Structure 1
Amino acid sequence: MTRKEDQVRRMLEGPHPRVPPGLAPAAAARGARIVRHRRVRRLAAVLTLAAAVAALAVWLALTGPWAAPPSVVAPPPRVF
């Protein structure tokens, strides 16, 4: 065993500190708050992505970028 392992074993075997009385409810409340914030952030990200997809669909429907551009070549001149 190394010296650090001995120190860890002594710490684990020794007297354990007392846990504050309101620790468990406070930790549960904090965990619930963190989960709620993550859920809100995820919802905001999904809504932002949906808005971006909707905007892209509207842009594609209005501009039609897949269509061929109008021909700009003039017909050959007529010689009389």
Structure 2
Amino acid sequence: MNRPEREAAVRRIMDQAPPPVPPELHAEVVRRGARMLRRRRAARRVMWSLLFAASVAFIVWAVLARPWVEPPSQTTPPLTDW
């Protein structure tokens, strides 16, 4: 089958009337789509909330712990020759 024949076959298929769709199918698809969008929106909100909470927790820890400051020495050198 060469290219013009394939194009003609595709055009014939596309020109045919589409198969009938059951009327209750549209309502079911809309209901499932709405539910899927609600779940995605809820998951996105939860993820952003977790990211925000983790950021706040890290900032609070960094301010209190100050990991960039060197800790004070726990031992002192011996005092001799005084």
What TM-score, normalized to structure 1? Answer: 0.75
- Residue 43 of structure 2 aligns with which residue? 41
> Following the alignment from structure 1 to structure 2, what is the Cα–Cα distance between the partners of residues 40 and 4?
46
Cα deviation digits, residues 47-70 of structure 1 (max 9, x gap): 110121122022112211132332
Shift in alpha-carbon separation, 1:41–1:4, aligned structure 2, 3 A: farther
What TM-score, normalized to structure 2? Answer: 0.74
Q: Structure 1 residue 5 and structure 2 residue 13: aligned? A: no
Q: CA RMSD in A?
A: 2.3
> Alignment identity in percent?
39
> Following the alignment from structure 2 to structure 1, what is the Cα–Cα distance between the partners of residues 41 and 32?
14
> Following the alignment from structure 2 to structure 1, what is the Cα–Cα distance between the partners of residues 6 and 64?
69
Runs of 4+ in 1 over 4 A off after TM superposition: 71-78
